[in-house]
Amino acid sequence: MRKTISLLTLVVLITVSCKSEKKGENDAYTGATKWVDSLIYPEETHFKSIKQITFGGDNAEAYWSFDDSQIIFQSNNKKWGVECDQMFLMNRDEVFDTSMPPMISTGKGRTTCAYFLPNNKQFVYGSTHLGGDECPDAPLRREGKYVWPIYESYDIFVADLDGNITNQLTTEPGYDAEATVSPQGDRIVFTSMRTGDLELFTMNIDGSDVKQVTHELGYDGGAFFSPDGTQLIFRSSRPKTVSEIKEYQDLLAEGLVQPTEMELYICNADGSNLRQLTNLGNANWSPFFHPSGKKILFSSNFEAERGFPFNLYLIDLDGKNLERVTHGETFDAFPVFSNDGKHLLFSSNRNNGGGRDTNLFLAEWQN
C-alpha cells in the first residue's frame, strides 16, 4: 500500500512548535462549489483557487475517474463507522462536511490504493479482508524506529461502484497492493512480495501477463504511469551498506519497512532505463507526473530537521529545476492531477484547527 494514514500519523506524533494554519471561511464548509482563496498560502502561485472537500478523520489517496467526474479515496473517519481505512466515492463537485459518502469497499479488513478502471464503473484496490474481518494491527514503531506494516493478507481486487467484488487479480502468497492504472487503461502497476522482496510488477487489467519491473534490493512502491504510459515514477528505499541491508531484511522478515529514507526513481514501463531522480535525503514520496509528462510533482520533508513539514515540489525528469509548490508547516502529500490537467487533488493538514485531521483539497492548477 502507499501507506497513507500511517505516515500521516507520523506527522502528528512529532511535537514541534508550528504557526497556526490558515482558517477558511465557515460558510465554505457547506457550499459544494465554494472556492476559498484564504486556504492558499501567498507563495502557492500554482493554485488559482482551492476548496476543502472532506472534514474530519484521515482522508488520502484520492484518485480521479477517467472522465474526471468522480473521485475515489480512502478514509478512517470514525464518524463514518470505520475502524481503519475503507474506500469511499464522491462526485467531483461534492463536499462532505457532516454527511458520509458512499462506502464502496467491503468494510472488512483494511483497504488501500483504489484506482478507477477506464470504464469508470469499476475500480481496483488492495484489501486484507480474505485474511479476516477485523482491522489488522498497525504498529507505529519498532525498537524506536518508525515503520510501515506490509500485510501478507493484502491482495488486489476489482469491484463495481456498489462495492461488489467482481474479480481477484492476485493470488500469490504475500503482499500484493499499491495498484494504479495506466492512462491508456491497459496496464496496472503494483508492488508485490512474491519474489521475497518488495518489487514493482505490471499486469493487464484482467490480471494476466504479469511482468516484473524492478529487481534491486529495497522497497519499490507507490508507482504511477506517465501520461503516455511509457514510463513509471516510484519511491524506493534502497539499502546500500551492510548494516542498512541487514536492517531492511530483518524488518521485512517481520512484515515491516522503514519509510524515513526514500528517494524517487524513474524507468520505462518495462523496467529499462532505470535511474534515480532525487537525491535529497529524508522521505521523498507520493510522486505523480505533471500533465505535460516533463515534470514530477511529489511530497518531501527533505528541508525539515525534525520529520516535518512535508510539502509538495516539482522537479524535471532529469532531476533539475526543483521548485517548492506548497508552503505549509505540517503536511501536504498525495498530489494527483485530473486527466484534463486542470485540477489537483491532494491531502493536507491545513485548516484542521491544529488537530490531527488530514483532509482532501481540490485546487485549480495554473502553470
pTM reported for the whole predicted model: 0.91
Q: How far is CA 210 from CA 144, 169, 203, 207, 213, in A?
A: 38, 10, 4, 7, 10
- Specify which residues 111 forms β-bridges with: 127
Domain residue ranges in the chain: 4-365
- Specify which residues 289 forms β-bridges with: 296
Distance between alpha carbon 211 and the CA centroid of its chain, in Å? 23
158 close to 188: Cβ distance less than 8 angstroms: no
**Segment 256-281, tens digit of pLDDT:** 999 999 999 999 999 999 999 999 99
Average the pLDDT over 198-202 and give the result: 98
- Quick one: pLDDT at residue 4? 47
Q: How confident is the model at residue 356 (pLDDT cuts 50, 70, 90)?
A: confident
**Domain covering 4-365, topology:** Neuraminidase (2.120.10)
- Quick one: pLDDT at residue 248? 96
- Quick one: pLDDT at residue 34? 67
- Specify which residues 256 forms β-bridges with: 149
**pLDDT averaged over the chain?**
90
Query: Which of 22-31, 54-63, 159-168 has the weakest average pLDDT?
Result: 22-31
- Quick one: pLDDT at residue 23? 34
CA–CA separation, 196 and 333 (whole Å): 29
CA–CA separation, 52 and 50 (whole Å): 7
Residue 231 scores a pLDDT above 60: yes
Residue 361 scores a pLDDT above 50: yes
C-alpha cell at 42: 501567498
- Quick one: pLDDT at residue 36? 75
Distance between alpha carbon 343 and the CA centroid of its chain, in Å? 17
Query: Which of 66-75, 138-147, 209-218, 321-330 has the weakest average pLDDT?
Result: 138-147
Residue 161 scores a pLDDT above 60: yes
Residue 359 scores a pLDDT above 90: yes
Q: How confident is the model at residue 15 (pLDDT cuts 50, 70, 90)?
A: very low
Average the pLDDT over 53-72 and give the result: 96
Residue 254 scores a pLDDT above 50: yes
**Segment 37-52, tens digit of pLDDT:** 789 999 999 999 999 9
